[in-house]
Chains A and B, each alone.
Chain A
Amino acid sequence: MSPPPNGLKEEGDRSGRRPSSKQAPKAEGPAGRRGAQPGQKEWRRGSPRPRSPRRKPTEFRSRREELRRQERSLAARTGEARRKRDGRASLKKQRANSKKDKEVLGKEETWKQLKKPRSSSLASNTSGGESLSEEELAQILEQVEEKKKLIATMRNKPWPMAKKLTELREAQAFVEKYEGALGKGKGKRLYAYRMLMAKKWVKFKRDFDNFKTQCIPWEMKIKDIESHFGSSVASYFIFLRWMYGVNLVLFGLIFGLVIIPEILMGVPYGSIPRKTVPRAEEEKAMDFSVLWDFEGYIKYSALFYGYYNNQRTIGWLRYRLPMAYFMVGVSVFGYSLMIVIRSMASNTQGSTSEGESDNFTFSFKMFTSWDYLIGNSETADNKYASITTSFKESIVDEQESNKEENIHLTRFLRVLANFLIICCLCGSGYLIYFVVKRSQEFSKMQNVSWYERNEVRRIVMSLLGMFCPPLFETIAALENYHPRIGLKWQLGRIFALFLGNLYTFLLALMDDVHLKLSKEATIKNITHWTLFNYYNSSGWNESVPRPPLHPADVPRGSCWETAVGIEFMRLTVSDMLVTYITILLGDFVRACFVRFMNYCWCWDLEAGFPSYAEFDISGNVLGLIFNQGMIWMGSFYAPGLVGINVLRLLTSMYFQCWAVMSSNVPHERVFKASRSNNFYMGLLLLVLFLSLLPVAYTIMSLPPSFDCGPFSGKNRMYDVLHETIENDFPTFLGKIFAFLANPGLIIPAILLMFLAIYYLNSVSKSLSRANAQLRKKIQALREVEKSHKSVKNRAADRDSEDTSKSSSKTATPLQITHAEPTSHSASQSQALEKKARDTGASSPASGTLLPASQHLPGSQPPEVTPDSGKPQSQTHPWKSASRKSTQRPPH
């Protein structure tokens, strides 16, 4: 509230003239803040205020004046300097005033406080729209007065100092905030402006949230699929999207820190041998068939390891490229591990909270599934589909839980199925082993290219991959699992099969690497010899230094790192193509055939044999996971691989979305995916670990090629770390690192980590056990409560039926209150009591809960209910605050 604009003397005079108007009873209430009017209504219940010694009130007064000055800051901000000065002056005068004067003043001031809002509220009533209504103003006024009273009487409350302080601050903040609403002119406008801004801010936040939701890529597509195919199929696409996000980050890391610096600042193409296509390959280097195999110009580009130079620093930035290359390679794995584990952890956190709501699955679906705000027919169609799907999902769940089965038979069948599948896996494992061995022998006998050597192996592997999963699926039908669990088993089994694929691939690759490494020494000799001969050969004019040998002519090693990178690159691309072609042929062409040939066929194609394809969740998920494993393994040797993978994921997102919607049918038994797809994540983590091993092995124990790559010339790749620590860090840091690398320190550290893991594990186990017990307890309590209530309710219903027949409206709250076991019931039963008695006097129950109504009997108009306030979000903070203050026991 703005300060009294006039001199206080004047006011004092006027106060004498003040008629005992209608506001008088109201004015008396707030006047209590002066603390000088004993025996007022407000103090009826509390102990009478003790007469404090003379010294204390003055002290108190000065403090209060300070408070008031703070309150005035609002008016001060409006720039009414003159008025403020007046106020200050009057304050000084007031301080000099006697206590008696003060009392009179107090009355006067409060009267003014009351008067002002009155007029302003009248004004606001006509303004309508956004501004405040009269009732609200009255309410705010009342609250402000309460607060002021609280500030005034704070000193006498028997509270601890800290509490007093916090209360005081709260009250001050409140008064400052809302006094503006009651003031005239600028104060009010400022308040309205603030309110407007608050509303705008809320709206902005909401819009921003909407915007954020819209920014989630493919959300609509995935929802569309989910509504038609169920959450299990959607879980694959969500996984795909997540994977895309991870790959984007990896892509940014590698491109930003390795490839772009190399392109911008590195030695240009053609300047040194490792960046030049050799003379022998030059002719065909631009042919498409060569490029398609990632040979030729692509092989000698920044996409592959071999292109990078071993200069310690490049460009004017003195960017340490080899170091950056190494660190990026490490951080790709670090980031992936972190993100996988983090998402697993967050998934488990989310899954613990739910699980209680399965009591009323069907009721929930039946009564609440339709979204009544849908106004778009397409959305409505989707909603239809999703409701249907969700019903089907729950039907499957229900059937599973109600299934009565012969336990022994099921167990026998499950053991049998597992036995058969293990046989299959062993057989295929042996087959792989056999083929690999044979191909190794072949390679020793004949001098064929690595690619050709592996043709046989590849054919065997792809045949296994084609025939084993359906076989597993048929065997899994014996087990009679819930489809959700069945999917997990299927995933696990195919995973084991694919591991064989991975294993053979890596084994063959390792053989190749070792072969190349063994040849490297001789090639190194040849290179030296050629260069030596070139510079020292006779027949050249000795006086002119010979121009350096053209980089294309320098003989060079095979650069096994690039070869490995190319291999992964090829594998990724061929994998992608195979996936797409499979989808195109297996799903789309089949769907077209079934759809259009059905008109002229002897049996029903749609219902009969070929039918439409179902979406193969397990195959797709595993394909994605293994592909990601390839990326992790290959990205160290082929920095461009992640870029290719990003493209692949992007296209497969659109392509598969289209394929699913156009040519697949929902599963026969649509089932609900488990909320947390931690199973996928677990497989991914396993693959990540498996792909970390070979990379770590090559980095740690194989010497890098002597003439290509950022680590050439070093004994091991990680030597770049030693080099950097020795050359670029101060010596004491180097010592610290050496000390840290001491096994005497590392082993205790590892032990400590194990201990910590053990401890945390046991703690989490005990906590989860306690959690489960608590949940059980809650469940049991609810059961008891329910049965109890239902008995009571029936009795209450019978009672109420008689009374409520006359007016059905009163029956509503009656039934309601009994049905509501939560905290609502307290207030509602009060409301009920009120209604039943139909008296204006407050009942004892409400009196205890709402002391405010008794404290200020005159100031709370009965028609103003707390929730009839217009701007809901604005009213609640002060409401709760005021409640805090009023619920305190008066002393």
Chain B
Amino acid sequence: MIYSVMLEGAKSMGAGAATIASAGAAIGIGNVFSSSIHSVARNPSLAKQLFGYAILSFALTKLSHCVCVCVCVCVCVCVIYIYIYIYKTKYPNELKTLKFP
């Protein structure tokens, strides 16, 4: 396995870029609970069932945040090595490596 400082930097940059997607998930979850508050304010007698719906929607919306974390972990662990492996098998005689002092 190749290890170099540039590689670690690239992985960190990729992970940082992948974290931006959590913003959408946060907006979505806030939307869910905002609608839940509105609906309970309109009809407080159905509070229990509405709370059930709110929790169900929260669980479904959390999917985007979890996919974001999964992509982040993927970037940090496996993507760059897969890329290097493909590059090496495609051009086996290349002497250019990613090593930097």
Instruction: Say whether A associates with B.
Output: no
